[in-house]
A and B are shown apart, each in its own frame.
Chain A
Amino acid sequence: MLQLENLSVRYGSFRALNDVSLHADEGELVVLLGANGAGKSSIFLTVSGLNKPAGGAIRLKGKEIGGMKPSKIVRSGVVHCPEGRKLFPKMSVMKNLTLGAYVYSRDQVGVRRSLEEVFELFPILRDKRYEAAGSLSGGQQQMVAIGRALMGRPKILLLDEPSLGLAPLVVKQVLDVVKKINENGTTVLLAEQNAFAALKIAHRAYVIEGGRIVMEGESDTLLHDENVRKAYIGA
């Protein structure tokens, strides 16, 4: 589904990503583990077109999408739910969600159908639909962010640290929903620092350090790997 080959990204003269190669196959839930500053967000921002790659290839179903405009990338089915959510804080939950389907606004029937699906996934959002997104709790805002991304009809969903800053119980809820979204057929690439919880729901994982992939494997393998346990699980 999505394949990165030797992707490099620079901020000025600083190389944030060095020859990153990874892939997520159709139907997979793949997790990217890495400490703060490892380069997870840089990968996502480059795939979704907000950053330009300095080298390498990004392919969606074999078609090169590296360097295209974000609006075209969204249309092609790669939807990015960013770190820090990036909601429209003064707009209602409903408005945030409908704008998520911006590229499909010609198809209002489809938009309403997606909206129902999001409300089914997050029933609390239906109750809060007329409230300003910025007034919700952190967990609810994260739900709006995920919902808004789903409205963009992702073939592959890029989820950047959805559990950041949330209480442990809410983290579990959010990750359960991520798992459900994947089970419903959407390919998911998830960045997480919560290694244990993320590996529990993922099929495969990559570990990234200093802008390089340093390890990859099945979730079960990594879950029992000595180094991973020391560095990311603390057990």
Chain B
Amino acid sequence: MSSIDLFFQQILNGLTLGSVYGLVALGLTLVYGILHVPNFSHGALYMVGAFVAFFLIVDLGINYWVAMIGAAAVVAILGVLSERLVFTPLRHAPPIHDKIAAIGVLLFLEAVIMAIWGAEFRRMPAPYTEMLSIGNVAAPAQRWLIIAGALLLMAALHLFLKKTIAGSTISALAQNREGASLVGIDASRVAMLTFAISGALAAVAAVLFAPINLVYPAMGHLVIMKAFVIIILGGMGSVPGAILGGMIIGFAESFGAFYISTDYKDIIAFVLLVVILSFRPNGLFTQGER
């Protein structure tokens, strides 16, 4: 392969990783925006999404796309349940309590998955195994699928938040909770909606990524750490920040792995975090408010 082809391959890798990270970070940032809870259990929701789809595809022989919808629905419900049963009761507790509870939910979900499926690594069959070239760049169809799927979902989410009334209620609650209540927006319904969307996004990200990765109970750990890096970079609660931050980390990893060393791939996100925060302590996309 010529070096220009290799360069395009890295772009493609960066886009793939950035797409997955961006979807996970979006869910995290939405929840942070309205509840100001760093939802540490979000990585476990991502992992549960992969297992649910794995079960549907491998054990029940269900079509990949249907399994993706099924996983999104199950994880959306889990997200809503965690909001109702754990985060709502802690709404007026000292802030450290939500964080501890979020870790509790994470450990609980991992333990349940371990109890059912054990700790082994599993492989989810890819729905399309052929190579697909666009221009000069050839890649497994699944990679194109991840990029297209994620971009489509991000665009849909953007339209939902900006153009629909239900979407506006999420932004309204994030921007001014009291103001939102005073116009008649029901804060607890919005919180449930946000957790459902956040969970569904994590599940879809996991189901898109799983066929070129592995499925195992700890699969959410690195992803969620990176998603936190992304929303800190992008500004906690910022939607464009999560998407751009995801792409920045995706590209940095893919180019770092190729031009520096694969061994350092997972450290790059954290190095970038330290470097960027030294220059912009409030993240890249905040204008010094809040």
Contacts and interface: CB of A to CB of B under 8 A. Distances in A.
Interface of A: 48-50, 69-71, 74-75, 79-82, 85-91, 95, 99-103, 105, 148-149, 151-152
B171 interface: yes
A148 B182 CA distance: 10
B175 A50 contact: no
Contact of B181 (A50, A81, A101, A148): A50
Nearest to B188: A69
Q: Per DSSP, are chain B's interface residues mostly helix, strand or loop, or mixed?
A: helix
A70 B182 contact: yes
B182 A82 contact: yes
B183 A148 contact: yes
Interface string B27-64: 00000000000000000000000000000000000000
A81 to B, nearest CB: 8
A74 B179 contact: no
B184 A71 contact: yes
B193 to A, nearest CB: 14
B172 interface: yes
B176 A102 contact: no
Interface in B111-148: none
Interface footprint category on B: 10 to 19
Given A88-B171, A95-B168, A152 B176 contact: no
B174 to A, nearest CB: 9
B186 interface: yes
B165 interface: yes
B254 interface: no
A102 B179 contact: no
Contact of B186 (A71, A80, A81, A87): A71
B184 A50 contact: no
Contacts of A80: 182
B38 to A, nearest CB: 21
Closest 10 CB pairs of A and B: A86-B179, A74-B184, A103-B184, A88-B175, A70-B181, A71-B184, A102-B183, A71-B186, A86-B178, A105-B165
A159 to B, nearest CB: 12
Interface string B146-181: 000000000000000000010011011001101111
Interface string B179-211: 111111110000000000000000000000000
Q: Chain A CB within 10 Å — which of B178, B179, B180, B183 has the most? A: B183
Given A82-B178, A88-B171, 18 more contacts: A48-B182, A49-B181, A50-B178, A71-B181, A71-B184, A74-B184, A75-B184, A81-B182, A82-B179, A87-B179, A90-B171, A91-B168, A91-B172, A99-B185, A100-B183, A103-B183, A103-B184, A152-B184
23 contacts: A50-B178, A50-B181, A70-B182, A71-B181, A74-B184, A80-B182, A81-B182, A82-B182, A85-B179, A86-B176, A86-B179, A87-B176, A88-B175, A88-B179, A89-B175, A89-B289, A90-B171, A91-B172, A99-B180, A99-B183, A102-B165, A102-B183, A105-B165
B88 to A, nearest CB: 14
B171 A91 contact: yes
Contacts of A69: 186
A50 B172 contact: no
B109 to A, nearest CB: 32
A99 B181 contact: no
Contacts of B171: 88, 90-91
A81 B183 CA distance: 9
A134 to B, nearest CB: 8
A102 B169 contact: yes
Nearest to A89: B175
Contacts of A152: 183-184
Q: Chain A CB within 10 Å — which of B168, B179, B180, B182 has the most? A: B182
B30 to A, nearest CB: 15
A174 to B, nearest CB: 18
Contacts of B175: 88-91
Contacts of B180: 88, 99
Given A71-B186, A95-B168, A99-B168, A88 B181 contact: no
Given A91-B171, A91-B175, A99-B172, A86 B165 contact: no
Nearest to B176: A86
Given A95-B168, A152-B184, A89 B178 contact: no
Contacts of A49: 181
A199 to B, nearest CB: 27
B288 to A, nearest CB: 13
A85 to B, nearest CB: 8
B251 to A, nearest CB: 27
A88 B186 contact: no
